[in-house]
Amino acid sequence: MAEFGKDITAEDIIETLSFFDSWEERYKYIIDLGRELPPLADAHRTESNLVRGCQSQVWLVHELADERLQFAADSDAHIVRGLLGVVLAAYNDKTPAEIRQFDIDAYFDELNLLKHLSPTRGNGLRAMVGRIRATAEAA
């Protein structure tokens, strides 16, 4: 399995998505990204790890190791697992300061992502980002 934030970075995703001409191809790539997420242990699939505001079920856990935040996440929807990969590529294995400084809106704009998601998926994506940023603020 690839490690998001190390093996697959935000820059990698921007570069790879730029190769595809259609959004159908981009969606397939995003779904494939979701297949690269390591499985989340059942013990982490708890109410307290659910991300509120997502249409699908999304679980997000973290730990602070060597002053870097390590995230693990999963969802019951394939496209959302892929979107988690897009988000983790930007935020995983970063320091809290790097997470706070990263311009996620510019990243999403460069991917042209929010324009191609339903409003509920876009809200869910913002909820994931909000949970990660709140974690960075608290760390």
Q: What is the DSSP string of 75-88?
A: ESSHHHHHHHHHHH
Angle, vertex CA 136, rays to CA 55 and CA 32, nearest 5: 45
Conformation bin of residue 112: beta by default, left when phi > 0, alpha when psi is -120 to 50? left
**Out of 54, 58, 83, 87, which one is annotated catalytic?**
54
Active site residue 54: yes
Catalytic residue numbers?
54
